[in-house]
Amino acid sequence: MTEQKQLSGVTDTAFRATDIGPLPKSPKERARVGEELQPVGNYAGTIPYLGTIQDVEALQDHERSDPEFTSKDWWWDHQKIRFLNDKLGFKFLLLIVPMTWVITLWIGGPALMIWALGEMQFVAELPALVVGVFIILFILAWFAFAVWATPITTNWLMSTAMGFVLKPFEKAINKKLDDTLEDGCSEFNRATGQVRLALGRGRFFEAPFVEFDAYVDRVIQQSGVFYRLIFVHRYTQKTFHKTAFSTIESSKSEVLALWDVLQTYMDVTQPLPDTPRLEPFRHLDPVTAEHDKRTGRNPRYWRDIDLEAWKNGEGWNEVHRRQESYPWGERTCKLTPQLGKISMDEYRKHRPAEAWPI
């Protein structure tokens, strides 16, 4: 234990499924249609197939510019997973410039041409059929041009042009962007066992991992039934369904595998889950380093992998098949037996000082 603390910063409050202390019962039982409470401390050892494909692409792309993964833009490591909540306003801010340009490009040309024709006196003397045919042909030709020009001009606009215009304000913009990202940044901290979820406007909801219940939520849409992972704080009933881990998936097993990865990550008695985003940091976690040495794991497995070959081979035949065939319904929960073994008043005395009041 002492050696692990020294090497990876693990504290006494870190989550250990084999040593879950007594917990008070929830003051209010939660029973909602479409939500399935997930067990804690029972691991399938699988990873989400579709999520892994995206993570390999992100990993290999990032390594080209930051081979040591020291950039603050890489938010996963052996101590914490950082992520942004779904902030609609921030997304809109990032998209408003290219959206405005694309609309202007596609609509502006035909609109300007129609206005110009209306200002030309000789056009009024032409047969209506001729003018109509000309307008239709021009619009079709313009749309063909717009299809070709949109990606080229948008890329130039968002890189060269925006860079030139914003260069004098670079420091102020970077500071504002960093503040915005930090304001919306949440994290699962393996070293401390704490979860911090951004509420916006500089507010954060922080509590021990053992106080959160994970649910697979069924989402019914016009195109069918989908699933997502949501988190509920047991003692306040605060629900978090717009985290980076709450993306809607068509496969329930994809969401179950994601929860398996997350709870395995938080358990310091377990090696880090073998996911692409964590690979550059596996040697820094003592439990993981020992596991990899014992199993002979290739330290660059994900960084050097041929993704297309993996998707059609090992990925589909092993990862996807295990994800789909695993007996998820047979898992048992190591946390539930601890509920009700301590009063709320007594439990409050042992909570971290920075935790959200209960």
> 48 vs 161, which has greater pLDDT?
48
| Residue 84 pLDDT exceeds 90 | no
| Residue 2 pLDDT exceeds 50 | no
| Residue 182 pLDDT exceeds 90 | no
| Residue 89 pLDDT exceeds 90 | no
| Residue 92 pLDDT exceeds 50 | yes
Helix axes 252-266, 49-65, angle to 10 degrees: 60
Residue 354: the pLDDT is: 92
| Residue 228 pLDDT exceeds 90 | yes
- Of 105-109, 213-217, 219-223, 281-285, the range with the lowest mean pLDDT is 105-109
Residue 159: the pLDDT is: 66
CA distances 137 to 14, 127, 134, Å, are 68, 16, 5
- Region 61-78 average pLDDT: 93
Residue 96, exposed/middle/buried by CB under 10 A (0-12, 13-18, 19+)? exposed
Q: What are 286-342's pLDDT values in tens digits?
A: 999 999 999 999 999 999 999 999 999 999 999 999 999 999 999 999 999 999 999
Neighbour tally for 309: CB within 10 Å? 10
Mean pLDDT of the chain: 88
Residue 88: the pLDDT is: 45
Percent of the chain with pLDDT over 70: 87
Q: Which residues of 26-56 are buried (b: 16+ CB within 10 A; e: fewer)?
A: beeeeeeeebeebbbbbbbebbbbbbbbebb
| Residue 16 pLDDT exceeds 70 | yes
Residue 355: the pLDDT is: 95
Residue 101: the pLDDT is: 82
Residue 102: the pLDDT is: 85
Give the model's confidence band at 85: pLDDT under 50 very low, under 70 low, under 90 confident, else very high. low
Q: What are 120-150's pLDDT values in tens digits?
A: 777 677 788 877 888 888 889 888 998 898 8
| Residue 7 pLDDT exceeds 80 | no
Strand order, beta sheet including 185-189: 80-84, 185-189, 194-200, 203-208
**Partner residues linked to 217 by β-bridges:** 35, 228
| Residue 24 pLDDT exceeds 90 | yes
| Residue 83 pLDDT exceeds 70 | yes
Q: Are 249 and 261 in contact (CB under 8 A)?
A: no
Give the model's confidence band at 157: pLDDT under 50 very low, under 70 low, under 90 confident, else very high. confident
Q: Which pTM value belongs to this model?
A: 0.76
